[in-house]
Amino acid sequence: MSKRYYCDYCEKTMVSSPSIIKTHVKGVVHQKLVSAHYQHFKDPETILKEESCKKPCTRFPRGECNFGGICRFSHYTPEQINALRDYVASKYNNLNEASQPSFQDLYQRLQGEKSIKTDSDDQNTVIYDESGVTHVLPWTYNPVLDNYGELPLSIRRLKSEDFVNASLVEWG
């Protein structure tokens, strides 16, 4: 008994000889089924690019086109192509809106936020010690936290007295 070849696209079994397989692969039925199989995996941009270059098939609307997916003419109606074009355009618009802002945009927004700094922000970020030296902190305290009792050091508002007897320990 000779070896058999099974075509996954056509679901047919045949004798495994190079000439028979070559004839089968060149056949119209096999090519249509392969094209139909891979058509399911194409993204809308690729389909639009391929179909917008083709002329409309005159036989397909009448049901007379025997070529199916391997037809050199388009089987999409102008309305379907326009709908596909709108879908691709809306997809790109959504991607552009969801994209990250540029460095320039972030810098401009940061500069704008700095310019609208209020007096309460200065009050929450400036520390005066006994000698009158002003220290500006790079963060802002939330004044609501002052209403609570004893808070952990990581949340508590710092005062210059907190640093008087501080023991510095080397980390690392």
- How far apart (Å, rounded) are the C-alpha atoms in residues 11 and 24? 12
- DSSP string computed for 40-57: TT--HHHHHHHHHTSPBP
Nearest to residue 51, comparing CAs of 88, 80, 86, 87? 80
Taking only the tens place, the pLDDT of each residue in 90-121 is 887 776 665 677 788 888 887 777 666 555 55
* Residue 74 DSSP symbol: B
Task: Give the CA distances from residue 93 to residues 43, 80, 98, in Å, rounded to whole numbers and listed in that order.
Answer: 17, 20, 9
Nearest to residue 69, comparing CAs of 40, 33, 41, 44? 33
Nearest to residue 82, comparing CAs of 46, 45, 48, 40? 48
Taking only the tens place, the pLDDT of each residue in 39-95 is 889 888 888 888 888 899 999 888 888 887 788 899 888 898 999 889 888 887 776
| Model pTM score | 0.45
For the stretch 97-101, contacts whose Cβ atoms lie closer than 8 Å and that sit 24 or more positions apart, written own/partner, are none
* Residue 69 DSSP symbol: G
Domain boundaries, the chain: 4-98, 118-163
Residues 73, 54: contact at Cβ < 8 Å?
yes
Does 6 score more than 80 pLDDT? yes
Residue 33: other Cβ atoms inside 10 A: 20
